[in-house]
Amino acid sequence: MFYLSELEHSLRVPPHLLNLPLEDAIKSVLQNVFLDKVLADLGLCVSVYDIKSIEGGFVLPGDGAATYKVGFRIVVFRPFVGEVIAAKFKESDSNGLRLTLGFFDDIYVPAPLMPKPNRCEPDPYNRKQMIWVWEYGEPLEDFIIDDSCQIKFRVESISYPSVPTERAEDAKPFAPMVVTGNMDEDGLGPVSWWDSYEQIDQEE
Amino acid sequence: MKANAGALTNFEVLDFLNSRGASKDTTRVIAPIARSEYKVYDYLVETAASTQTRESVTKFADKCKDFKVAKAEILNIINLRPSSIVELLPIIETPDDRKINTDGILELVKDLLPPLPTTETHEDNAEEETDNGEQL
């Protein structure tokens, strides 16, 4: 789920940070630049881990600040394909489910990857939402997917869409990293579905 | 640039944030931690990572090598702490074909990785329910 990545970056340390020790000043600039941002093919930057090297400190002509070349390590959130993650419910509509981790919201479970057989019905309490129901067992029992507990999914793919040049009026906000999840497997889906599994097994 | 300089478990990330002074304290102004980092912290304290220690995690990873599971799978087990077979199965790819001793892994999880306080109470309730069922 989390990785360390080694990066190198040229950055400008503005003069108002000169009262700090150099390392602290550079760290605060790095945090401003990278934290909570997605780097394509690298993931979501969570935290600056440490600084490995600081080079330079040149003042470029016409500039009132020193520029350093810094090598550093950063903690990134980048799930791997096949990983199982516990997330929380965010939205659901006829296209599928949207999950959140609190710090990352762009997790989608599309309709073809929902537990089968399923059906989708309108939510009586919220007109914008649809409820997904898994039909399972003999006789058929309804298992509803809602926000009552954590939901586990398996990472199917991760994509880094490029920034669109044109934006439609009603388009969704741009997401730089999108995780597609799969829930169509035993043990996946809301954790409450599987709590009683072992008991039933033993009774049999 | 090196995109992958090592994977981290949830526990290691939480430990790193703790070492910088993150806490459940509601004021959240004293520690030099960004708001986005606190979101990660909030997610992690609710996972099994909050009860793990460095010793238990390294010991578990060492012992897990005997089961011939992949590194990514060990990482996933530590992060999720599966307590039953149905929780473990999605993590491990084709356990039957690879002849993996899933019961052994579950034993090891029970021995070395402490359960979440909340799930523990839940298990207690479940036991009580089954007890009642037998009496009836």
pLDDT in tens, A108-160: 988 888 887 888 888 778 777 888 888 887 777 788 887 778 888 999 999 98
CATH number of A84-203: 2.40.50.140
Residues B61 and B44 in one domain: no
Q: Do B37 and A35 touch (CB under 8 A)?
A: yes
Low-confidence residues in chain A, pLDDT < 70? 196-204
- Strand stretches in chain A, DSSP E: 2-13, 38-39, 43-59, 66-77, 84-93, 96-100, 107-110, 118-122, 130-136, 141-145, 151-159, 178-182, 189-190
- Residue to test with chain A: of B12, B19, B37, B50, most A Cβ within 10 A: B37
Nearest CA-CA partner of B89 in A156, A189, A114, A188: A188
Q: Are residues B36 and B73 in the same domain?
A: no
Task: Supply the pLDDT for residue B121.
Answer: 43
Tell me the residue range of the domain where B15 lies. Answer: 10-50
The pLDDT tens digits for B38-96 are 888 888 888 888 888 888 888 888 888 877 788 888 888 888 888 888 888 888 877 77
pLDDT computed for residue B135 by the predictor: 46
Residue B4 domain-assigned (yes or no): no
Q: Return the pLDDT at B136.
A: 45
Residues 6+ apart with CB under 8 A from B87: A187, A194, B80
Q: Is A125 exposed, middle or buried (0-12, 13-18, 19+ CB in 10 A)?
A: exposed
User: pLDDT value at position B128?
Assistant: 46
A63 — contact with chain B (CB < 8 Å)?
A: no
In the block, which residue shows the tokens 């070395």? Answer: B112
CATH of A2-77, one of 3.30.70.100, 3.30.10.20, 3.30.1490.120, 3.40.50.300: 3.30.1490.120
Shared domain for B128 and B87, answered yes or no, is yes
A84 φ, ψ (degrees, to nearest 5): -100, 125
Q: How far apart are CA A74 and CA B16, in angstroms?
A: 12
Of A102, A152, A186, which has the smallest distance from its Cβ to B43's Cβ? A102
